[in-house]
Structure 1
Amino acid sequence: MTISQRPIVLCVDDEVRSLETLERTLDEEFDVLTANSADEALQLLENHDVQVVLCDQRMPDRTGVELLTEVRDRWPQVARLILSGYTDSEDIIKGLNEAGILQYITKPWHPESLLMIIRSACRMCALQSENALLNMEMRLTEEQAEKQVSEKKAHLRNSFQLDEIKRHGQSPLNKICDQVSKIAPYDVSVLITGPSGAGKELFARALHYNSLRADRHFVVENCGAMPDELLASELFGHKKGSFTGAITDHVGLFEQADGGTIFLDEIGEISPAFQVKLLRVLQEREIRRLGEQQRRKVNVRVVASTNRDLEEEVRAGRFRQDLYFRLAEVTLELPALSRRTIDIPVLANSFLQTAMHQFDKPVKGFSEEALTCMKRYSWPGNVRELQNEVRRMLVMCEGDWLTADLLNPRVLRAAPGAEDEEIDMLAGLEGTLKEKVELLEKRILRETLIRHRWNKSSASLELGLSRVGLRSKLERYELEKTGDSETSKQH
């Protein structure tokens, strides 16, 4: 099929002079095709991308209405016009009803008027084609959106499968995973305790994606340091005008999570007054939006977390006992990362894989020395601090490996595990002044060498030592590079 840059108009008339006149009038703006019979017109339509057919009504082989009726059936996107010297109302009605004719033009026609009609018809044809494409695109987009949503849901489920989490850690993490696998299928409230950054939200999501509610919403709210009115608005919703700034109705997270799971992080921070409101919601399984009298039923599983000792908070009168028992039908306790150092290399490599994909920056892995330093550090910020450290190292890295010199100084200064007893001497527990000074000197030498990637010239320059003096101290303290910075051990 021939496609033209300009709109194509097909003129059909059994009179040659009429066709010549139409062609002269239209050819400045349009590509004009002419046919003196219905059969010739159909052949041209098959071979060209025609936008408008302008057809005479009275022709010997068949009428214009009959031809345009066939055109409508075979090429419905083509605009159809009738040109006739007769004003038979029956022909007009028949043309409009049977052939779907856009306009009935009577002879004699005025050139400018005809041009305006053809322009309008071409525009109509273009709009119909665009509308058809948009409808098709909408259908494709809808299908693609459904596919993307399904793929993301599947990815989420896979990410929080317990076997996947177990792969990234060892005991006692695996023991917690076993507990989650037992708890997840049952609609019981779960309280997750542990220090900040230990991965409480990870296990809250694991509870959801391994439950019967996995296909419904999982929503999160951090309850820490939030005023009661704002927290009530976020959780229960509000009606327009219920308070200053409420310019629209707002659906709260309990309604959004209906049928799914809501995760209330830092639950130990909520005020005594709000504890009463939350208790009522958990008991009655219904919420009331701020500024509204209507109560709405919700079916939500509640998972809460805290870094506080809620039992101690109950004994101190700062947390309601009845709310505690509502939230803690089952309790999961997450240990600090310092209590599971065996997980550090596995977690670090997992975080590295994620960061490499996110930053589009591939590296080969960690040097053995870097992993050794990371295992010696106590990680007070737990898993979150480890994740941030890995991301920072990748951003700063200029080579193929994440080496120890990329670590934050506070990680480098961590006491080596084999020297913990020696470090205690610096606190005055035992040892002479000479022993303490030598131990401190050894630590300074080691940290400086790591920062300079064991370049002895740079280290000696910083420390104000000669290369011979530095070498002597290294031999004296038996300091040497740990592992090989150019190879990564698999953990």
Structure 2
Amino acid sequence: MTRRLPTVLVVDDEVRSQEALRRTLEEDFEVFTASGADEALAILEREWIQIVLTDQRMPGTSGVALLRQVRERWPDAVRIIISGYTDSEDIIAGVNEAGIYQYLLKPWQPEQLLLTLRGAAELSRLQAENQRLAVDLKTAAPVLAARVGERRDRLARHYALDRLVRAPDSPMNALCALVGRLAALDIPVLLTGESGTGKELLARALHYDSPRADEAFVVENCGALPDQLLESELFGHKRGAYTGAFEDRVGLFKQADGGTMLLDEIGETSPAFQVKLLRTLQEGEIRPLGASRTQAVDVRVVAATNRDLEAEGRAGRFREDLYYRLAAFPIHVPPLRERPMDIPLIARSLADETGAALGRRFAPLSAELVGCLTAWRWPGNVRELRNEVLRMAALAEGSELSAAHLSPRVLRAADTGQEAALDLIDGLQGDLKTRLDALEARILKECLIRLRWNKTRAAQELGLSRVGLRAKLVRYGLDGG
């Protein structure tokens, strides 16, 4: 398909000027000619003209007067006028009224003329494209709105508090009920607790259950960036504000305007940055780096930290005034070891999630595996538990996740701290013989689970004969493993 050339209407009462303009333009444009305003208007009635190029001085109607009519009836046509030097002031007076794109002074130069008309053709193309886009957007607006609404509803369902995995007797039940009540109250919330306990999930649930659910939810890890980059991320910057700032940047506060922002690891920020953040929270406005004016923002701030900010404030490492601004309502999220009843349910959920990603379906967790999981203290909380489930899924030979594939530290259910052995002994009850028997039984079971109940290998590792091992297993009720 041959690409159509841009169309231009040349209006000039002098035949020689018409021909000179035609010869100059005909390689790049489809050229129409007219000797006066009436003939030009007739051509415009029947042809699609993108550019009107007219002389100013013509018998009857002047070029500016003609272009006024063109603007009223064919506003999309790009209007250009050519005049002699003596006419320039008259043309300037009519530029706004006639909407003239450009005017050229005689004698015109071919290169200048072509450059001007190529620019006019590009302008005409962009105008037409904008009109098509406007129509498309108007047509698509209901569909886009429906899709946005569907996505918002899907996110709200995904992060709903009742989907947070927990047991009927979990301490998380009271916490989730509290978060549900706070969602409707537009106040700052500070989530505290160890890494991996689900603070971000609670922050998302807070947002999607709040009146701000239709707007953005934005997350920034404050401990991952130095001050200048963190300020740029949150507040934005103007081009040239610092080395490497090659263009303007809209900060996350502006992107979250009307919505919610989670400032994760807020305890890692410097005192200098804390001052700037405090001003933003107090005044409800930001100043991008390098900007001379502030911008108003309306953002609900949820902060999260694994530090004790009150203690940090007393030590002078965190501003107390900022703490009270952030902690209008502090919520502590308990670690996994304080809610062992949740561990089997979370592990099962993670197994289902992993299986769906791998195209597999895993069997229910065995009592042996559940016992190993609940015995571990989980310093990494849910993140660490997820890694263990992924490890077992990767090593599983069938549909069952095996305790034998747990990490050695989890399998032994021993803390990584120096007090692990003392914690183990403290959990044993009875006289010395009873405690030693319980400890021996535990060592035997751990060894057998790790070796997938291969009794020959277990006997070799423990320095026992197979008969001796069997006798101990019978004694401790482990022979059925």
Letter in 1 for 2:424: I
Offset of 1:163 from its aligned partner?
A: 2.0
Return the letter of the residue paired with 1:272: P
Which residue of structure 2 lines up, in the alignment, with residue 190 of structure 1? 189
RMSD of the TM alignment (CA)? 3.4
Q: 1:151 to 1:351 in 2, by over 3 A?
A: farther
Deviations 1:94-122 (A, max 9, x none): 9x959xxxxxxxxxxxxxxxxxxxxxxxx
How far the C-alpha of 1:465 sits from its partner, in A, is 3.7
Q: What SS does the aligned partner of 1:240 have?
A: coil
Shift of the 149–360 alpha-carbon distance from structure 1 to 2, 3 Å rule, reads farther
The code of the aligned residue for 1:298 comes to V
Q: Report the residue type matching 1:398 in the other structure.
A: E
**SS, match of residue 203 in structure 1:** helix
Residue 452 of structure 1 and its aligned partner are, at CA, apart by: 2.4
Following superposition, the deviation at residue 361 of structure 1 comes to 2.5
Deviation at 1:148, TM superposition (A): 5.0
Counterpart amino acid of residue 448 in structure 1 = C
Counterpart residue number, 2:310: 311
Contact 1:189 1:327 in 2 (8 A): yes
Counterparts of 2:170 and 2:179 in 1: how far apart (Å)? 14
Letter in 1 for 2:478: L
Q: What is the SS of the residue equivalent to 1:372? A: helix
Cα distance, 1:294 vs structure 2: 2.1
Asked whether the equivalents of residues 425 and 436 of structure 1 are also in contact (C-alpha less than 8 Å), the reply is no
SS of alignment partner, residue 365 of structure 1: coil
Specify every segment of 5 or more residues in structure 1 that has no aligned partner in the other structure, as ranges.
Answer: 1-6, 8-92, 99-130, 483-491
Matched residue, 2:361: 362
Q: Which residue pairs with 2:406 in the alignment? A: 407
Q: Secondary structure at the match of 1:402?
A: coil
Correspondence 1:17-166 to 2 at 5 A: 149-165=148-164
Q: CA deviation at 1:287?
A: 0.6
C-alpha spacing 1:141/1:414, structure 2 compared with 1 (3 Å): farther
Separation in structure 1 between the aligned mates of residue 159 and residue 426 of structure 2, nearest angstrom = 45
Do the aligned partners of 2:165 and 2:342 also contact (CA within 8 Å) in 1? Answer: no
In the TM superposition, what is the alpha-carbon distance from 1:226 to its structure 2 partner? 2.6
Counterparts of 1:400 and 1:460 in 2: how far apart (Å)? 29
Match of 2:94 in 1: none
Q: Which residue of 1 aligns with 2:425?
A: 424
**Equivalent residue for 2:449?**
450
Instruction: Report how far residue 365 of structure 1 moved.
Output: 2.9
- The CA distance in 1 between the partners of 2:349 and 2:304, in whole Å, is 24
2:173 corresponding residue in structure 1: 174
Alpha-carbon contact 1:258-1:299 (below 8 Å) kept: yes
The C-alpha deviation readout for 1:52-71, integer Å capped at 9, x for no partner, is xxxxxxxxxxxxxxxxxxxx
Residues in 2 aligned to 1:388 and 1:146: alpha-carbon distance in whole angstroms: 38
Alignment of 1:379 onto 2:363: no
Matches of 1:359 and 1:291, distance apart in 2: 49
Letter in 1 for 2:387: N
CA–CA distance in 2 between the matches of 1:464 and 1:142? 75
**SS of 2:150 mapped into structure 1:** helix
Task: Describe the SS at the equivalent of 1:283.
Answer: helix
Q: Give the AA of the match of 2:425.
A: D
Partner of residue 232, structure 1: 231
TM-score of the superposed pair, with normalisation by structure 1: 0.64
Distance in 1 separating the partners of 2:345 and 2:328: 32
SS in 1 for 2:240: coil
- Partners of 1:182 and 1:322 lie apart in 2 by 25
Question: 1:466 deviation in Å?
Answer: 3.4
Instruction: Give yes or no for contact 1:168–1:350 (8 Å, CA) kept in 2.
Output: no
Q: 1:174, CA displacement in angstroms?
A: 0.5
CA distance in 2, matches of 1:169, 1:302: 31
Query: For 1:162-191, what per-residue CA distance to the aligned partner results, in whole angstroms no more than 9, with x for missing partners?
Result: 222266664210000110111100110000
Q: Distance in 2 between matches of 1:142 and 1:371?
A: 51
Pair 1:397 & 2:396 matched: yes
Q: Is the 8 A contact 1:166 1:173 kept in 2?
A: no
Other-structure match for 2:337: 338
1:441 deviation in Å? 4.2
Contact 2:167/2:341 (<8 A) preserved:
no
SS in 1 for 2:473: helix
**2:164 is paired with a residue of what secondary structure?**
helix
Kindly state the Cα deviation for residue 399 of structure 1 after the two structures are TM-superposed: 1.1
Tell me the CA shift for residue 353 of structure 1.
1.9
Q: Give me the whole-angstrom Cα distance separating, in 2, the residues matched to 1:142 and 1:391.
A: 42
Once the 2 structures are TM-superposed, how far is the Cα of residue 400 of structure 1 from its aligned partner?
1.1
- Write the distance in 2 (CA, Å) between the matches of 1:201 and 1:169: 22
How far off is 1:155 after superposition?
Answer: 1.8
What fraction of aligned residue pairs are identical, expressed as a percent?
Answer: 52
Q: Which amino acid aligns with 1:409?
A: P
Q: 1:387 to 1:323 in 2, by over 3 A?
A: same
* Amino acid aligned to 1:205: R
Shift of 1:471: 0.7
> Does the 8 Å contact 1:169/1:346 carry over to 2?
no
How many angstroms does 1:480 deviate by?
Answer: 4.4
CA gap 1:171/1:208 in 2 versus in 1, 3 angstroms? same
Measure, in 1, the Cα distance between the counterparts of 2:242 and 2:336. Answer: 44
Q: Which residue of 1 aligns with 2:258?
A: 259
Return 5+ residue gaps in structure 2 as ranges. Answer: 2-41, 48-128, 416-420
3-state SS, counterpart of residue 401 of structure 1:
coil
Instruction: Tell me how far 1:210 sits from its aligned partner.
Output: 0.6
Distance 1:435 1:240 in 2: 74
Greater displacement, 200-209 / 144-153 = 144-153
Correspondence for 1:204: 203
Classify 1:315/1:415 alpha carbon distance in 2 versus 1 (closer, same or farther; 3 Å).
closer
Residue in 2 that maps onto 1:271: 270
Q: Secondary structure at the match of 2:304?
A: strand
Kept in 2: contact 1:452–1:459 (CA 8 A): yes
Post-superposition offset of 1:218? 0.4
- TM-score, normalised to structure 2's length? 0.66
